[in-house]
Amino acid sequence: MQGDILNLGAGLAIGLGAIGPSIGIGLLAAKAMEALGRNPDAAGPIQQNMILAIAFAEAIAIYALVVAIIIKFV
């Protein structure tokens, strides 16, 4: 019984923890494409900043994964 609850907690941790970063990455990419459409000459700085912001958003998802693994195995 307790194992089932821990599995549910781990699933919720990664599931809910991945929602925010996935929405954030989608918005980042959409706004970057919009900015490139408005100013194609600024492709370099826009791409650089977009990749950096996506990396920070992915880090939050990795934290959620680590929490889920800790819940599962500890």
Q: How far apart are the first and last CA of the chain?
A: 16
Q: What pLDDT, on the 0 to 100 scale, is given for residue 63?
A: 94
Residues of the chain falling short of pLDDT 50: none
Total structural domains in the chain? 1
- CATH number at 44 reads 1.20.20.10
pLDDT for the residue numbered 6: 87
- Cα–Cα distance for residue pair 5/22, rounded to 1 Å: 26
pTM higher than 0.85: no
Residue 25, domain extent: 2-73
pLDDT score recorded for residue 3: 78
Task: Name the E strands within the chain.
Answer: none
Which pLDDT score is estimated for 42?
A: 94
